[in-house]
Structure 1
Amino acid sequence: MQLGERPFSLELRGIDISTLLLYIFNDSSFFTLLKEGRQAWMHFLVDAMWRLESDDEWNLVACGSKRTKQKFISSTSCEMVSMVDGVKAAYKTCDIAFCLFGKLPRVIVVTDSKPLCDQIESGLARSEPRMQGTLNYLMQEIRGEGLDAQVM
């Protein structure tokens, strides 16, 4: 049995550089019984006309995915590590945007994990205390001088 390739096309559109945005999406799946998971992130370089709710995936400029065997107690910790990977890669994407447009984009980090958002807001890794160092690093990168990021 062969797996067929699913057609995937990239669509690039012109954008208004006065409202340049970099959306970082991250997600993960973690299988508790197997103690393994998959982490992924995507970067979209868009303008203010792009809507998060529209499911319109154009201007995908970078993405990454990896399998993890790291042991987590909760899926929130796996989401956190996925977000760290996406935020780290954002520096390269911002450099590319600066070279192309002469301007750094405003960065918006999007996650579907409410517990992770709560941990970022409070600054405490409640689901897994040993992840406090990773959370501190993530908060430093999001609120640091290199990225002007907002978490949604």
Structure 2
Amino acid sequence: MLPSPLEFLVPLGALESVAEVLPFVILAVVFVNLGTRFLAQRSYVRAAEAGDDDEAMSRYLPHEVVSFLLIVLSFAFMIVEPHGGMVLSVLVLGMVVADFFEYEARRVEARNDMEMDRPNSALAASALVVAYAGYQSLFFVVAPVWNAIV
């Protein structure tokens, strides 16, 4: 049997061995991402109050690292569970894009001496990611009822 070309980039055997816990890890990282989003927002508000312009603001590194980790985990989940991983990856990428634009919006608010708003679009995208990651990892809780109906 010929090896898959993907086996040279991703250790599929090792990935399959953690496939059972991967949805739970993703759910935990999603909650960590929510926490770092809160800390990032607090950091942006403090930086805007401290400086005259948006020069004092910079991206919050822990949030960027957790977001990158979430992208990598969702892509790994796509290898193990193609359909669920694809949906999760699209949601996570949408959340990261929303984070990018929310940061830029905070810079505009700081530059124009406006009141800092919450990152509403990123929070909405995070809610979708939390819901889908929870569905993927905790489906066993509702599986008996779901299977009885369907």
TM bin, normalised by shorter chain, reads: 0.3 to 0.5
TM-score by length of 1: 0.32
Q: Which has the higher helix share?
A: 2
TM-score by length of 2: 0.32
Q: Which has the larger radius of gyration?
A: 2
